[in-house]
Amino acid sequence: MKILLAPHFDDEALFASFVCLRERPLVLFCFDGAPRHGSFDVRWAEAQAATRILGCDALALREDYETLEDRLSVFDPEKVWAPLPEYGGNADHNFAGEVAERLWGDRLSFYTTYTTEGRSTSGYPVPADPEWVAVKRKALACYRSQAELPATAPHFERDDLSEYEVVPVEVR
């Protein structure tokens, strides 16, 4: 089994679509983001539609910082992708990446998200089949609730849909 940790509904489509399309991991949504970013039911329905487009199954864990590591420890994946913990990065993204590193550091690759400076492009560009950009746009379009929020809309309005991966030295 391969898994991809997505702290929030939409992180898989915004930052790891190409990994999803290439590897078909089980997407584990760690936190539900409600009520700050809308209702759980709406966000979960959007996430299910987006992950189907990306060819992945998904689970909504709805954990918090105190329970996430215990909940994830029951999984024994052969490969894991998680957000890269970065200075100035989103706290939930950083936390999920740190948990993944503790649990599966030897099987982990990171994908980049954003920091207070903007979209993170550290690491290596993720190779993408040319048709995947159109699929990514279709998955992103599922997140209507987020595309309409002033705080998250800029992520959905980007022209550059490149993605970046960081593979820790011990995994190479």
Domain boundaries, the chain: 2-171
What local confidence, expressed as pLDDT, does residue 75 receive? 98
Tens-place pLDDT, residues 29-42: 999 876 777 899 99
CATH topology of domain 2-171: Rossmann fold (3.40.50)
Tens-place pLDDT, residues 55-86: 999 999 999 999 999 999 999 999 999 999 99
Task: Please give the Cα distance from 57 to 5 (Å, whole number).
Answer: 12
* Number of helical H runs and strand E runs in the chain: 8, 9
Confidence of residue 171 (pLDDT cuts 50, 70, 90): very low
pLDDT at 169 over 80: no
What local confidence, expressed as pLDDT, does residue 170 receive? 56
Residues facing 83 on adjacent strands = 111
Q: Is 161 exposed, middle or buried (0-12, 13-18, 19+ CB in 10 A)?
A: middle
Write the DSSP string, 115-145.
ETTEE---SEEPP--TTHHHHHHHHHHT-HH
What local confidence, expressed as pLDDT, does residue 172 receive? 43
